[in-house]
A and B are shown apart, each in its own frame.
Chain A
C-alpha cells in the first residue's frame, strides 16, 4: 500500500510537470498547442547533446534546454499563432504539422534510434517496499517547486497578474492597459521553458526518440481535458488522479491496460462533463 502511495506521488509529480506548460497556453490563449510535446523532445535532445555528446556540466545542459524551449515557444508564437490570429482550429492543425516536421528534423540530426540519458541525479533510495531513484525524486521535487513558484508568480507579480487577467478576459485586460499580445508572447516563452524542463526529466526517466512527443502530449491533453481549463491547482489534482490511476491499474489490475484506462477516462469525462471536473476557472 505504501508502495502504491510512494510510486503514485512520484509519477503524478512528473505528470504535473509535463502538463503545466500546456495548461498555461490553453488558459491564456485558449488554443491547444499540439506541438507541445515537441518542446519536451527539443529540451531532452538539447540536454542530451550538451551533457552526453559534448560532455559539459549538467547545469549547462538544463540551461541550454530551457533556452531552446523559450526560443521554440517565442518562434511558435511569432510565426504561427500570431499570423493565424489565434484561431483555435487553425493553430491546432498548424502545430500538428509542425510537430511532424520537428519529428523529421530530429531524425535528420540525431538518427532514428532511441537514446537513454544518464540520471540527472544518481542513486536509489529503498523505502517501504518501493525503490525510488533520486532522479524521479528530484523530478517530483522540481515539479512541486515549479508549480508553487508559478502559483506565486501568477498571484503576486505584475506580469503574472496580467497573465491571469488575460486568461479570464482578453478585452477586459486590454482595456485596463495590459498588452495582450505581449502577455501572450511571455506565456508562450514560459510554456516553452516549462516544457523543455519537463522534457529533460521525462527523457531522463524514459528515453529520447523522435516519436517521444506523442506520449507526453497525450498526458498533457488528458490532464487539461479532465481538469477543464485548469487552474494550477486543478492541474496538480488531475495529474494525481491520472498518475494514481496508472499506478493502481498497473499494480492491481492489469499492466497492459494502462493506456486504455487513460483514454477511457478522457472520453468519459469529455462526454459526461464537457467542462471537465473543475470547470473553467481562473489560472
Chain B
C-alpha cells in the first residue's frame, strides 16, 4: 500500500462524495433517511476504528464516549438554552476528556482485560445516567425535543454527508502520515514500536483523543439530528454490537471499510423490513453478520481485495 497521497486518491474521494451529493435527486426521501443513519454509523465505526482497529485496544465501551458527547450537548442546549454553536464544541471537549479517562486503564492492561474494563465503563454510565440528577438527564425516559439542526430528509442528509466526508478525509490523511503508520504498528506489535524508540504512550493517547473527539462530534450531531435521547438507545449492547460489527465487517484499519460496513448493516436491516417485519428481522440480520464475520474476520474490504488479486492474478 502506498503511503503517498496522490491525485488519483483525491480524485476518487471527489468522485465518491460528488456521487453521494447527487443522490437526493435519484432516490426517495425514505432512502435518504436510511442513508443518514448509515452516515452516522459510519462516523461511529471510523471513530471506533481509530481507537481500537488501529491500536488493537478493543473497546467494548464506545457508546460510553458517544453518549457523553450526546448527553453533554443535549443537556446544555435543552436544559440551559446554550446555543448549539457552543454546546457542540463543549460536548466534543468533554468527550475527549472522557477519552483520557478511558486511556488510563490502557496504560496497564490490554487485550481482553481492556475490553472488559471499557464494557464496565458503559454499564456504569448506563446506571449512573438514570440515578444521578435525573432532572438533568431525564432518567430512563431521556429527553425529547432536543433542538434539531435541520428539517427534512435532504438537509439532514447533506449535513450528515458533509460531516462524514470531512471526518473520513481527515482521518485518511492522518493515517497517511508517519503518525498513522506508527499507530497501526502498535496494533501489530507494541513492543517492537517501543523498541524503535517511539513513545507508545503518547501515540496511544493521541489515538484515544482522536477517537474520542470523533465519537464526540458524531454523538453531538447525532442527538441534534434525532431530537431525542434516552439511555437505552445509547448505552446498550445492541448499539455497541452495531458499531463494532460495522467496523469489522467492513474491514478494520481502513477508512473505507467501516464506512462500507455501516452502509451494509443499515441497509440490510432496513431492506429486510417489508419482508420480515417482526423479530425475524433481527435474527436474520445478526446471522448474516455472524456468518460474514466467520467467513472473513478482516471484512468486506479483504474479501474484495482478495477477489481483485485473484482476478489480476488470473490475468497475469
Contacts and interface: CB of A to CB of B under 8 A. Distances in A.
Given A101-B290, A270-B105, A260 B128 contact: yes
B124 to A, nearest CB: 4
A83 B291 CA distance: 12
Interface stretch (B35-43, B154-162, B278-286): B278-286
Interface in B253-295: 278-280, 282-283, 285-287, 289-290, 293-294
Given A97-B289, A267-B120, A92 B112 contact: yes
Given A92-B58, A97-B245, A264-B124, A104 B282 contact: yes
A221 interface: yes
B50 interface: no
B287 A263 contact: no
B241 A263 contact: no
Q: For chain A, give the interface size range.
A: 35 or more
Interface string A243-280: 00000000000001101100110110011001000000
Q: For chain B, give the interface size range.
A: 35 or more
Contacts of A270: 105, 109, 113, 116-117, 120
A208 B23 CA distance: 46
A32 interface: yes
Contacts of B113: 225, 270, 274
Contacts of B279: 104, 107-108, 112
A77 B95 CA distance: 39
Given A92-B112, A97-B290, A263 B248 contact: no
A266 B286 contact: no
A89 B237 CA distance: 17
A106 to B, nearest CB: 9
Contacts of A92: 58, 112, 115
A84 B293 CA distance: 10
Given A263-B123, A263-B124, A270-B109, A93 B244 contact: yes
B116 A225 contact: yes
